[in-house]
Amino acid sequence: MTNKDVKKLLSNHQELIHSDAVKVTSHVQRQDDDWYINTLMIDNHQVPFIYKRKKPYQSLKGARVNITYYRDIKQLAGMDFETMKVVRLKVC
């Protein structure tokens, strides 16, 4: 996806947010049935960024990434938790 494609995606979906060259401070993967759930923590953010993949992925800890995401609310034990659902991730 080129920079032009990202701009088009953002203009078509107002709720999407895009960040360039952010540093990954933590990357954890866990298997859930046929999927691998990946959780990233980004420098200067207190909210986890979550995405799914069919195969395990290399560790992104310490890497700089371009990330497109939107805000999501997960409910656990009757409490709301803010997360970020990743739509697009590209290592810089």
The model's pLDDT over 11-66, given as tens digits with 9 standing for 90+, comes to: 676 788 888 899 999 999 999 999 999 999 999 999 999 999 999 988 999 999 99
**β strands within 1-92, DSSP E:** 17-32, 35-42, 49-53, 64-76, 79-91
Q: Which of 12-16, 38-42, 67-71, 83-87 has the lowest mean pLDDT?
A: 12-16
Question: By the 8 A CB rule, do 72 and 87 touch?
Answer: no
- pTM, to two decimals: 0.80
Distance CA(44)–CA(54), nearest Å, equals 29
Map out the domains of the chain with their CATH numbers. 3-91 (2.40.50)
Distance CA(50)–CA(37), nearest Å, equals 7
